[in-house]
Amino acid sequence: MIDDYLRYLQRVRELSPHTVEGYRHDLSSFSNFLAEEGIEAPELNNREARRYISSLTRDHRAPASVNRALSVLRGYYGFLIKQDKADSNPFISIPSLKNSGTLPEILFESEIERLLDDRAGGDDFFAVRDRLILELLYSTGCRVSELVGIDITDVSVRSGSVLVRGKGSKERLVFLGEKAKSSLGEYLPYRNARIRSAGTSASRALIVNNRGNRITRRSVGEIVRKCSKALNVPKNISPHTFRHSFATHLLDHGADLRAVQEMLGHANLSTTQIYTHLGFDRLKAAYVSAHPHAARRGNKDEI
C-alpha cells in the first residue's frame, strides 16, 4: 500500500520526485517501527500511533521533522480509508508539535560579497562553474533541486530570466542580476567545451560536472560547504542559506512581500512571512544597541 500511495502522489498529485522521496523515507521509517513492534499494518490504534510519534521525539528529531512525518502519515491513512484498507485515521487527532521558533540562518550582505569575492580568482572550469553556482543561488533564490534542473534552453540572457520547476512541477520565472549574467557568460564556453570533450553533446543541463553530465544536489552542497570554509564566519552554510539570504535582503531593501512570495515559489504567504521576522530581529538588535533608553546600562551615574 505504501508503493500504491507513492505512485498516487507522483501520478495523480503530480508531486516532484524529490518530494515523493521524502514521503518514502517517512513511510519506510513508520513501516520499520511497525515491524519492530509486531503491529499488524495497516490497522493501528491511537495509542500505538502516539507511541510512534513519541519515538521520533526520543530520537531527537526536530519539531519540524516530526510534524512533517505526522502530516505524511495523516495523508497516508486518508488514502487507505478511501481505498477501503483502513477504517479510521489514528493520526488525525494527534496535535502537531510547537515549532521551536528557530529562524533560518542567513548571510549578511557583507558576508555574501566576501564569499563571492573569495571565489573571484581562478579561471579554470571548476572555479568558473562554482562561482556561477553561488551567483545563481543568490541572484535567483531558487532551491538547489531547481538549480540542478535548469536546462540551457530555460535561460534567457536577453530578458535576464530563468525558467525553473519547483515543488509539484510548478514553473516560475526567476531573475538574473548583472553579476550572475557576467558569471554565466564566463561559464558557457567552459561548459560547451566540457560537453564536447566528454562526448555528452546531447546534454541539456546548464550546470554540468567534470564528465559533462548534469550536476547533482549533493555535489552542489559539497561545493557550497567547501566555499564556506574560506568565508571564516561561524555559520553552517548550505545552498538553502542563499535562498534565505535572498529573501531577507529583498525585504530589507523594501521589496513587496507578495512579490518575494512569487519569486520564491511559496504557495502560502505565511511561509514567506518568516523573513519579515528576520528583518524585525535585526532592527530590534540595532535599536537595543543604539537607543539610550532601550536597555539598562547598569551605571548609577545615569540614574
Active site residues: 143, 167, 240, 243, 266, 275
Distance between CA atoms of residues 262 and 194, nearest Å: 34
Residues 32 and 56: beta-carbon distance below 8 Å: no
Q: What is the DSSP letter of 192?
A: H
Find the radius of gyration of the CA atoms of the chain. Answer: 23
Grid cell at residue 197: 570533450
Q: Angle, to 10 degrees, between the axis of helix 239-252 and the axis of helix 109-118?
A: 130
Residues 167 and 19: beta-carbon distance below 8 Å: yes
Closest CA to 131 of 112, 116, 147: 116
Grid cell at residue 170: 510548478
Nearby residues of 193 by Cβ (< 8 Å), 6 or more positions away: 125
Cross-sheet strand order for the sheet of 161-165: 155-156, 161-165, 171-175
Distance between CA atoms of residues 303 and 77, nearest Å: 64
Distance between CA atoms of residues 222 and 269, nearest Å: 31
Distance between CA atoms of residues 135 and 272, nearest Å: 22
Closest CA to 102 of 284, 277, 238: 277
Grid cell at residue 26: 517517512
Distance between CA atoms of residues 38 and 41, nearest Å: 9
Beta partners for residue 214, in sequence order: 208
Report the greatest alpha carbon distance in the chain.
77
